[in-house]
Amino acid sequence: MSTFTSKTDQILVSLENRVATITLNRPEARNALSPELSAGLREAIQWASTDDEVGAVLLTGAGSAFCSGGDVKAMSKRNEGGTTITAEMQFRDLQARHHGIGGALVAMRKPTIAALPGPAAGAGLALALACDIRIGADNALLTTGYAAIGLSGDYGIAWLLTRVVGPAKARQLMLTSERLQAPQAMAVGLLNEVVSGETLQIHATEFAARLAQGPTVAYSYIKDNLDEALSIDHATAIDREADRLLKARTTQDHKEAVQAFAEKRAPKFTGI
């Protein structure tokens, strides 16, 4: 079995049934994104995206929160102490971190699931939005939160939010920092499912495991099609779907699925 060794205990990683579970592990700080946690998360995502034994990724948080976003206490210390780092260096650092975490989640061609045991705010909400599917506990609370602390947004949240809930709702949520309870969040599309807190991890893990056993090459093409859906015209979409469909037809997974259908049994996908 493939393994990943985290360099920090602020990130926990396990691999079972082809599901890589990545847990943000700063429960005392509601899993706020410290530099150490961010670096560990970036490395874990990179491993999960490239390791052939990983079929799906489940991102979650330890304790009672998913992720409260940036570490506001650290922001306060930074503002009080000032910095000698140039604006250009700060930009390059943010750019590398945001592309390496949020950008890498969006770019990953494997199914990604966010399981929210509680609040997701700011960058934490952006990380959840970067995943394909979001499952929340019934006590989860979601908010952009940026305007409330005088910030404009990061990790591509405006782009993600606009595509998930539409431009009008995205503007409302970004400008007001409105706090949405789980049922409200599901109603506007921020969550795909809401389950009890007691069953969240079991349900999300089982959901991820089903996807992890699926046709990984087809998943990759499906995600390509979906990513392009809002940026190309219909005729171009038809052409590109046709090209990817022809490629998918050549895979052993497609042939196995067709044979399994004829034999009235579940297919056994191998990712080739």
Q: What is the pLDDT of residues 78-107, one digit of tens each?
A: 555 556 788 999 999 999 999 999 999 999
Contact residues for 19 (Cβ-Cβ < 8 A; gap 6+): 54, 55, 56, 57, 58, 205, 208, 209, 212
d(CA 113, CA 193): 11
**Angle, CA 63 vertex, CA 59 and CA 195 arms, to 5°:** 65
pLDDT band at 74 (very low <50, low <70, confident <90, very high): low
Average pLDDT, integer, range 173-193: 98
Note whether 143 and 172 are within 8 A (CB): no
Q: What pLDDT does 167 receive? A: 97
All structural domains of the chain with their residue ranges: 11-212, 216-262
- Give the distance between the most distant pair of CA atoms in the chain: 69
Average pLDDT, integer, range 130-138: 98
Average pLDDT, integer, range 108-136: 98
pLDDT band at 34 (very low <50, low <70, confident <90, very high): very high
Q: What pLDDT does 236 receive? A: 98
Average pLDDT, integer, range 180-207: 98
pTM value? 0.93
pLDDT band at 75 (very low <50, low <70, confident <90, very high): low
236-263: pLDDT as tens digits: 999 999 999 999 999 999 999 999 999 9
Q: What pLDDT does 70 receive? A: 86
pLDDT band at 71 (very low <50, low <70, confident <90, very high): confident
Q: What pLDDT does 78 receive? A: 56
Q: Which residue has the higher pLDDT, 168 or 87?
A: 168
Q: Is the pLDDT of residue 128 over 60?
A: yes
Q: What pLDDT does 81 receive? A: 57
55-69: pLDDT as tens digits: 999 999 999 999 999
Q: Is the pLDDT of residue 208 over 90?
A: yes
Give the CATH number of domain 11-212; options: 1.10.10.410, 3.90.226.10, 3.30.70.260, 3.40.1160.10.
Answer: 3.90.226.10
Q: What pLDDT does 244 receive? A: 98
Q: What pLDDT does 8 receive? A: 96
Note whether 254 and 271 are within 8 A (CB): no
Tokens of 168: 């009008």
Q: Is the pLDDT of residue 227 over 80?
A: yes
141-143 and 120-121 beta bridge pairing: parallel
